Structure 1
Amino acid sequence: MTGPNATTAALTTPGGMGGIAVIVVQGPDAGAVVRRVFRPHRRPLESLEPDRLCLGSLVDGGEVLDEALVTFTPAPDGTRAEINIHGGPRIAQRALLLLEREGAAVVEPDPLGPIDPDHWPLAAGGLNNPAIGRELLQRLPRAMTAGVVTCLTRQWSAGLSRLARDAMEDPGARAEDLAAAAERYEAMRVLLAVPEVVLAGPPNAGKSSLANALAGRAASIVTDQPGTTRDWVRTLADLGGPPVWLTDTAGLWAPDDPIDRLAVDRAWQRVDRADLVVAVFDASAPPAAEDPHWTRLLAERRVLVVAGKIDLAPAPPGVLGVSARDGQGLADLRRAICRRLGAGDLDGDAPAAFTERQAALLATAAIVARQGEAAQARALLTELLEGGEGSAAAVEQP
């Protein structure tokens, strides 16, 4: 049990896989505890100001545990520090143990209250590049993987913010860069949307094994018996680009058993709702050209055809081949999925709009910069950095 003057640390986000974990440290020694384990990337530690979001590293001696976003806020009982790190349970646990060694008592989060980004002190001001910072805080809870968190934070700390400030000097010279950053919004939108990728195809095509290989864990049951999957199974997967909901489905065929027919119907339901369908067949036993289920599957609006089990037989010419057993083609498949979803070519370090407001302002700034209207372009870039979430409504295409 902790006393009223204790310095405490609490994990305020749910456990399990997620984009971020938020640890709140508060009490008379909170500032000193966090400063001992946090190293800012750009500014000296002693120059950190209250209510300023700062990007840096959480360190344990000479070891970097994780990249972190930290803010210090004055509180009646001393200081309140909020540490945003990547959301893996192992990293969060190590961070709590580190804070405990430095003198903070680890407690349950309830006494600290819920974390609402819209009501953080940061949301009211005090941010570098405040508009982009507010939008970052609002979207971090939607980031499902560490890679997405990193991509977002870099836009605030460097990529997008730096481009806007650099372009202030000569908007015309950076017009194409501004336009490119606006165009990258679609890829950033995919990163935050968590699209659904459905694996579908004939029974015993190796869909479940492939789903497990892509997810990096055994989410689906795998046996040598056809028809093992009787209902769809969904798991969150990080494919190296956007996080996706990866859905394994029952084999598509014409069964007599009513339960099997229901399983097939439910598989088609997932196919109909998918953002991308990966149509999987066994390379050693490809479906007949007249197979009505396979024909229907190939008619889907967004389909990627994959030959599985290429450790048994080669893929047909022009078809992407994979083997869940020995890993052949898995990296190519991950890249192909990311490309088909629209996020395959996104460079995490490149300036990119991650809200509709940002994209509209950047696109308009690029247009007026090309027309030689430098003052108007600078005004739009100032709005990008300092304006509010609702300012996109005021942006008109010239």
Structure 2
Amino acid sequence: MSSADKTTARIQTPPGRGGIAVIALDGPDREAVLNGIFRPLKTHADGPADAVQLGRVLDESGDVLDEAIVARSGQGAIEINIHGGPAVAQAVLGRLAQLGADVAPARPAAPESFQTAHPQWSNPAIGREMLGLLPAAASELVVAAISQQWSAGLSALASDDSATAQQLRAAAERLAVMDKLLSPAEVVLVGPPNAGKSTLANALVGRAVSIVHETPGTTRDWVREQALLGGVPIWLTDTAGLFESPEALHDIEAEAVRRARHRAESADLVLLISAGEPTPTPDWLDAKLLLRVAAKCDRPRPVGPFDAFVSAHTGEGLAELAEAILNALGLADIDPTTPAAFTQRQTDLLLTAAEAMDGNNAPAAREQLNTLLLG
């Protein structure tokens, strides 16, 4: 059998301990062999064939060997990225051999196909940080936004001797966006009873998480669930209806209103929901980032200073509301390939390098950027 007819597995990284170990899997049966060892997480299982996927590699008994990131190069080869311990790497290679792959001797450098797909190989520090944060990624977009910084974006910028101080500062400033992707923003729905908050929350989440009924006051406590808006994860909280004078309510109702207010006061964004006339903005919401939403717009369309008109029943306006939420949070039009710091260490090193460039101290800037890449 010629080498072209074989499926081979080869470790690409140097021997010994490291932040990550990279195993290249190539050959005609590479996908079948991969399917025998790799299980993508549910949130990453339905992406395109060339997507970066987060999951786990399993032994023959189905026990987890390690968490892994799987990527495919432009030439079709598969790259399995795992933690860098030699015992784990050998266990994965052994399982690949059981599945029919020939384990080839390690090479000191990556083959051309992987250099094309991942030109930055001297970046173990970014790789370690990526592996540490990817388990928290709640969508394919977040996986791509983090993994692209290792394979391209941030690594490419830090390796580029022609990079400017302005470019470094721009990448550092994007930490705020990356933080919101990894620790999703809190969006809270508030409004009077029976305004349609729970129905709208269910529509945005994509399934029933709040009880819906025509009786006002059905929601007695807040309900929090994660939603994906254009691939961006957010925490969405449905709350009890707000009354004019909670002090006059029964104890349970008053406590529900107090809890709703507490959730809204700590939110990144508040959706003030109305079913007819605009709901007056409570004084305690004046300082909050706020979107005024007219719900139930399949009925006679309300008139007023609204930021969005929606009908959870017909779906009208839901896409526009999702876009308005992302714009308000500064999370619209995320490009995973844009260089962006995703840890405070990276941000500090980028800013220090930019200061060195401002002082025409190129060697000092390069030292900081090498530390960013190598640790």
Q: TM-score, normalised by structure 1?
A: 0.66
Task: Name the CA distance, whole Å, in 2 between partners of 1:81 and 1:146.
Answer: 27
Residue number in structure 2 paired with 1:248: 238
- 1:252-288 deviations in whole A, cap 9, x for unaligned? 0146333222221221221222222111111x2433x
SS across alignment from 1:80: helix
CA, structure 1 residues 344+40, in 2 after alignment: closer, same or farther (shift >3 Å)?
A: closer
SS across alignment from 2:272: strand
Runs (4 or more) in structure 1 with deviation over 4 Å come to 8-11, 15-21, 42-45, 69-78, 101-104
> Quick one: which amino acid aligns to residue 40 of structure 1?
R
Picking from 279, 284, 293, the partner of 1:306 is 293
Picking from 122, 141, 147, the partner of 2:135 is 141
CA, structure 1 residues 381+78, in 2 after alignment: closer, same or farther (shift >3 Å)?
A: closer
Give the C-alpha shift of residue 222 in structure 1.
1.5
Picking from 319, 325, 334, the partner of 1:337 is 325
Task: Name the CA distance, whole Å, in 1 between partners of 2:251 and 2:173.
Answer: 49
Residue number in structure 1 paired with 2:225: 235
Instruction: Say if 2:292 and 2:305, in contact at 8 Å, map to a contact too.
Output: no
Picking from 74, 81, 91, the partner of 1:79 is 91
Task: Name the CA distance, whole Å, in 1 between partners of 2:71 and 2:131.
Answer: 20
Establish whether residue 176 from structure 1 lines up as the match of residue 166 from structure 2: yes
- 1:195-243 deviations in whole A, cap 9, x for unaligned? 2211111111111111111111111111222222111111111122541
- 1:94-116 deviations in whole A, cap 9, x for unaligned? xxxxx9x9689xxxxxxxxxxxx
Establish whether residue 258 from structure 1 lines up as the match of residue 251 from structure 2: yes
CA, structure 1 residues 77+155, in 2 after alignment: closer, same or farther (shift >3 Å)?
A: closer
CA, structure 1 residues 78+356, in 2 after alignment: closer, same or farther (shift >3 Å)?
A: closer
Establish whether residue 279 from structure 1 lines up as the match of residue 272 from structure 2: yes
Instruction: Say if 1:229 and 1:251, in contact at 8 Å, map to a contact too.
Output: yes
Establish whether residue 196 from structure 1 lines up as the match of residue 186 from structure 2: yes
Instruction: Say if 1:23 and 1:82, in contact at 8 Å, map to a contact too.
Output: no
Picking from 115, 134, 156, the partner of 1:162 is 156
> Quick one: which amino acid aligns to residue 190 of structure 2?
A
Residue number in structure 1 paired with 2:349: 361
Instruction: Say if 1:73 and 1:79, in contact at 8 Å, map to a contact too.
Output: no
Structure 2 matches for 1:97-136, cutoff 5 A?
Answer: 128-136=122-130
CA, structure 1 residues 352+315, in 2 after alignment: closer, same or farther (shift >3 Å)?
A: farther
Structure 2 matches for 1:319-398, cutoff 5 A?
Answer: 319-387=307-375
Task: Name the CA distance, whole Å, in 1 between partners of 2:71 and 2:349.
Answer: 33
CA, structure 1 residues 134+82, in 2 after alignment: closer, same or farther (shift >3 Å)?
A: farther
CA, structure 1 residues 234+44, in 2 after alignment: closer, same or farther (shift >3 Å)?
A: closer
- 1:111-151 deviations in whole A, cap 9, x for unaligned? xxxxxxxxxxxxxxxx7411100110111122222321121
Instruction: Say if 1:175 and 1:369, in contact at 8 Å, map to a contact too.
Output: yes
Number of residues of Structure 1 aligned to a counterpart in Structure 2? 302
Give the C-alpha shift of residue 72 in structure 1.
8.7
Residue number in structure 1 paired with 2:304: 316
Picking from 67, 72, 76, the partner of 1:40 is 72
Cα RMSD, aligned residues only: 3.6
> Quick one: which amino acid aligns to residue 219 of structure 1?
V
> Quick one: which amino acid aligns to residue 195 of structure 2?
A
Task: Name the CA distance, whole Å, in 1 between partners of 2:158 and 2:75.
Answer: 20
Residue number in structure 1 paired with 2:24: none
- 1:269-318 deviations in whole A, cap 9, x for unaligned? 21222222111111x2433x5xxxx4235424232222222222145245
Which of 176-185 and 198-207 deviates more?
176-185
CA, structure 1 residues 128+223, in 2 after alignment: closer, same or farther (shift >3 Å)?
A: farther
Instruction: Say if 2:37 and 2:59, in contact at 8 Å, map to a contact too.
Output: yes
Structure 2 gaps, min length 5: 1-35, 46-52, 61-69, 102-120
Which of 358-367 and 186-195 deviates more?
358-367
Task: Name the CA distance, whole Å, in 2 between partners of 1:230 and 1:309.
Answer: 21
Structure 1 gaps, min length 5: 1-7, 28-37, 49-53, 56-68, 84-98, 105-126, 388-398
Picking from 198, 209, 214, the partner of 1:219 is 209
Task: Name the CA distance, whole Å, in 2 between partners of 1:217 and 1:76.
Answer: 39
Instruction: Say if 1:323 and 1:330, in contact at 8 Å, map to a contact too.
Output: yes
Establish whether residue 269 from structure 1 lines up as the match of residue 262 from structure 2: yes
SS across alignment from 1:362: helix
Identity of matched residues, % = 45
